[in-house]
Chain A
Amino acid sequence: MRRALTLGCAALVLGSCGGSQSGPREYPRMTEDGQGQSRDAAPLPREALADAPRLVTEPSASSIVTLRVAFDAGSASDPAGREGITMVTARTMAEGGAGELSFAELSRRLYPMAGTISAQVSRDETVFIGQVHADHLDAFYELFRDVLTRPRLSEEDFERVRDQVMNELAVDLRSSNDEALGKEALELALYEGHPYGHPAEGTVAGLRRLRIDDVRAHRDQELCAGRATIGIAGSVPEGFAQRMERDLSRLSSGACVGRQALPAPPSHEGPRVFLVHKPDAQAVAVSMGFAYDVRRDHPDYPAMVLAAAWLGQHRQFIGRLMQAIRGERGLNYGDYAYAEEFTQEGWSRFPVTNDARRQQHFSIWLRPLRPETAHFAIRLAVRELDRLVREGLTREQLDHVRTFLTQYYALYTQTASRRLGYAMDDAFYASSPAYVERLRAGWAELTPESLHEAIRRHLDPSRLTIAIVASDANELADAIASDAASPITYATTVSAEVTAEDREIVGYPLHIPRERIRIVPVSQLFER
């Protein structure tokens, strides 16, 4: 306790904690021309801060302890002109020095325990994740706590992290990972001018403009106790949760403010295309979707998860798109649909947790296609979506997907760490009972009619935005705009059913005139 208090005071010297004593910090004035894009004329209201961090625990006998501290602040909290600041702040904390230790010293302490401390930043959340074997919990916790409450945020750590984030954005994402690029392009198009409208990594201009003082001020303002949820999973000693609550409660500052409300996502008339022109692209990446108001706390959320699984459960064969595009035609490696933002956890088939959002979108992802088949595959996907909305599912189809999901979702919560993540997500959405339980109950109630009604309420193909990354952007844009036939050939004879279906698909109208097709050079993407 004494040690904690002493450390707490030391942190004051670094300007990283200490309630009203440290005083509100302000972002330094911008020193460059071009102050970034102003998103909204009138500032949106801010929520009230909570009195103390929320606590969520997932007790288990597991000897692997997971600590998660999530803040209701993500890249949507980046101020205009400083896009990327939340990511750089969180990673400079997680990948820099803390307390008396430099990053090198901290790494050396963590290494023998194989303990890990990382930061995950999404649009609305920043979560610090610590994992360690119970043998080392005490020593590990002191490091984890200091990363959160006494980060050094040194100039050197900051510059290194900013350069890494800049490289991930401007080089890796733009040129080395077209699958990720296509998905980010969709979000860019869906949320243009909205706080979700830039990747968590930020923009090139925003990152260039960042200074260490910005980062320190941003932490004081956004990553504080009144916006925190503490999560603990695994076998911990009695009193551990209270200790953690006490320590994290000190994470407050006079500069801390509540989360700012979000504007509505931008709306548009008719389906449209956002085409990223990437001259050296060898294949075509496609993501499509629309913003909608179904989140996990919406009564129709289970229906939307089921509808998405019908089209394509992530990396499983059950989906209609997977069967039609890969299974029957061999056009690509995989095709899936999502009822909410989906980021895969590691090499698994499951999403990361602590990626909750205040606004969501429904999306379809077609993995890279050979250029000559892209237009056809897009038509096929849109046609399947149209069919789903028009016809819904038969009783038999509904039962099949429901049976699959009811069992399959047991795999979503196999580890205490993941159960904890979902429990924290439930706290974010203020929804109960527990996530998987809620889904199963929702699926059990669905009838073909109620499912179809929910689909028609929320899935509107006329609002579709199709994001494409391609080398022959103009050619593809002209083909789409003209609704010209997109004939398809295969390396083999296909079934009579496929041939008959193809006759409809090759000319299936997308109704997207040229003026609703925007072409953006990849070099301009994420620039500002």
Chain B
Amino acid sequence: MIRTTVLLSSALAALSIVSSAARAQDAHAVFGAEPRVERLSNGLTVISVHTESPGIVAYYTLVRVGSRDEVEPGHSGFAHLFEHMMFRGTDAVPAARYEELLQSFGADNNAYTSQDFTLYTVTTPSASLPQVIELEADRFQHLSYTEEVFRTETGAVHGEYDTQRSSPMLPMWEALSEIAFSRHTYGHTTLGYLRDIEAMPERYDYSRRFFTRFYTPDDCTIIAAGDVDHAALMAAVRERYGSWRGRRDRPRVPVEPEPTAGARRHIAWQAPAQPRMFVGWRVPGFVSGRSARERRAALRTTAALQVVHGLAFSEPSPLYQHMVVDQHRALELGSWSNELSLDPSLFVAHVVLADNETFDPAIAEIQGAIDELASGVDAERLDAVKSHARYALLMELQTPSDVADLIARFVAVGSSLDVLYEYLEELRAVTVEDVSRVARELLNDRRRFVVTLSRGADPSADGPPTPSAEDPS
């Protein structure tokens, strides 16, 4: 509770730093128009942005609940399960009718869940927007389903887990989360453990409580992008959501201590597989700090880390060129850039090695590339990465859905849309020193967590695989 209040107040304080002119300029550069933001008295936030997309609108509902909120043991994957339940209807509009109506509009209707948020994504011809608003308002306030329906839907969640069971990436993510987080809920994946998924059918009552705890107006943001009229949108939203009441529950998410030593775990895979690994470093959350100054410093850190993704792991990077192109020692090398998180999380690189390659030299080489950044960066390369980031962002935004999704991702971890402009400002301002600092202070072996996978035992290991960190559930 306290933590979020702090975040919110520092967000408000930071607002004054970004001048409105600069914000408008950034907004136009990114979206082609300045988004409009309003908040209803019940806490529901509405963001709209008109983009060139005749006849089509993305109507997204962001709920700031994700696997981060799964603090109770044995409940991993529950935020995701609940995302499924949101399609199971209300007394006024049963599930079949809800689908039938959305289908009659020709809407694309889906949702996804992450560590920090759940996003409901309707993209529809704009003529149907008033009806979509009515339907969405109804299900967010009056969701209703029986235990039988709940149990059936848990089968679909199990089925979703089954879609990924043949991939070595699933156990690798599970292992990386476990060894990097001994207390925090980032220690389990958003999909959840299989054992918890298998126990889901028995958790009907918990699911009902989940709805009242987290699906509240102060926890939600509506984002409408595309062919949308802000005034008409607001009138409809006020009418349909105005009487919605509720305050979000604030589960006590355990604080993860700063790492003092990294960890490593090997997965002996039964099926044929190239040797592959995740190398993750613990890094701060997207927004942290109490004062505006601290908050800006945190955004600068995130921006500098984003630059490191490009400098160290992009195709033109010396590491990629050496390991993949020149020496053919790796078949794939990359990193998960653009991953923003509320709490301290991981900066993750992934590598697929060629046959007969071992892990230790590859880890050393990756760490070596980071250490090199710690000792200095060529200014021209830094400019190239910044230019890439700018144009990649512009090219990412081609449809109303792209725009709504980007806004949702920033609002989810940054409290308000202004954080996007602040972040872009910090990205432009990243210096060689910033890059060196984050490489030195954050991307070092004391904060490094490695998961390796190959067919059979770890060829690099002298003894048995590293024991696992404390199982979070």
Residues of A that sit less than 8 Å from B by CB: 61-64, 103-104, 107-108, 110-115, 131-133, 135-136, 156, 159-160, 163-164, 167, 170-171, 174-179, 181, 280-283, 315-318, 326-334, 349, 367-370, 400, 403-411, 414-415, 417, 490-494
Contact = CB atoms under 8 A, between A and B. Distances in A.
A176 B148 contact: no
Interface in B154-174: 154-156, 158-160, 162-163, 165-169
B105 interface: yes
B42 interface: no
Given A160-B328, A331-B155, 19 more contacts: A61-B52, A62-B398, A64-B395, A104-B321, A108-B384, A112-B388, A114-B394, A133-B391, A156-B325, A179-B163, A283-B166, A328-B152, A333-B160, A333-B163, A368-B162, A407-B105, A490-B152, A492-B147, A492-B152
B456 interface: no
B153 interface: yes
Given A280-B271, A404-B106, A368 B165 contact: yes
6 contacts: A112-B383, A135-B391, A175-B271, A330-B156, A404-B104, A491-B151
Interface of B, helix, strand, loop or mixed by DSSP: helix
Contact of B123 (A103, A332, A370, A411): A411
Interface in B85-110: 87, 95, 99-100, 103-110
Interface of B: 52-53, 55-56, 87, 95, 99-100, 103-110, 123, 125, 128, 147-148, 150-156, 158-160, 162-163, 165-169, 201, 270-274, 310, 314-316, 321, 324-326, 328, 331-332, 352, 354, 383-385, 387-392, 394-395, 398-400
A410 B167 contact: no
A173 B315 CA distance: 24
A462 to B, nearest CB: 30
Contacts of A133: 391, 394-395
A409 B310 CA distance: 37
A282 B162 contact: yes
Contacts of B87: 317
A114 B166 contact: no
Contact of A177 (B151, B158, B159, B166): B166
A281 B125 contact: no
A136 B390 CA distance: 13
A282 B154 CA distance: 18
Given A332-B156, A492-B151, A131 B163 contact: no
Given A317-B87, A404-B103, A404-B106, A370 B316 contact: no
A505 to B, nearest CB: 16
A487 B406 CA distance: 46
Given A63-B394, A160-B328, A407-B106, A330 B166 contact: no
A175 B272 contact: yes
A171 B269 CA distance: 13
B143 to A, nearest CB: 16
B331 A163 contact: yes
B123 A491 contact: no
B125 A282 contact: no
A330 B168 contact: no
B27 to A, nearest CB: 16
Contact of A283 (B165, B169, B325): B165
Q: Which 10 A-B pairs give the minimum distances between C-beta atoms?
A: A407-B106, A330-B155, A492-B151, A114-B391, A332-B159, A333-B159, A408-B106, A112-B387, A283-B162, A330-B152
A317 B332 CA distance: 36
Contacts of A131: 395
Contact of B392 (A114, A156, A327): A114
Contacts of A415: 398-399
A111 B162 contact: no
A378 to B, nearest CB: 15
Most buried by A among B55, B95, B152: B152
B432 to A, nearest CB: 17
Given A333-B159, A493-B148, A111 B316 contact: yes
A492 B201 contact: yes
Contact of B56 (A107, A283, A411): A411
Contact of A104 (B151, B165, B316): B316
A176 B162 contact: no
B387 to A, nearest CB: 4
B331 A329 contact: no
Contacts of A62: 398
B165 A408 contact: no
Given A171-B273, A404-B104, A411-B108, A326 B156 contact: yes
A113 B390 CA distance: 9
A49 B293 CA distance: 67
Contacts of A409: 106
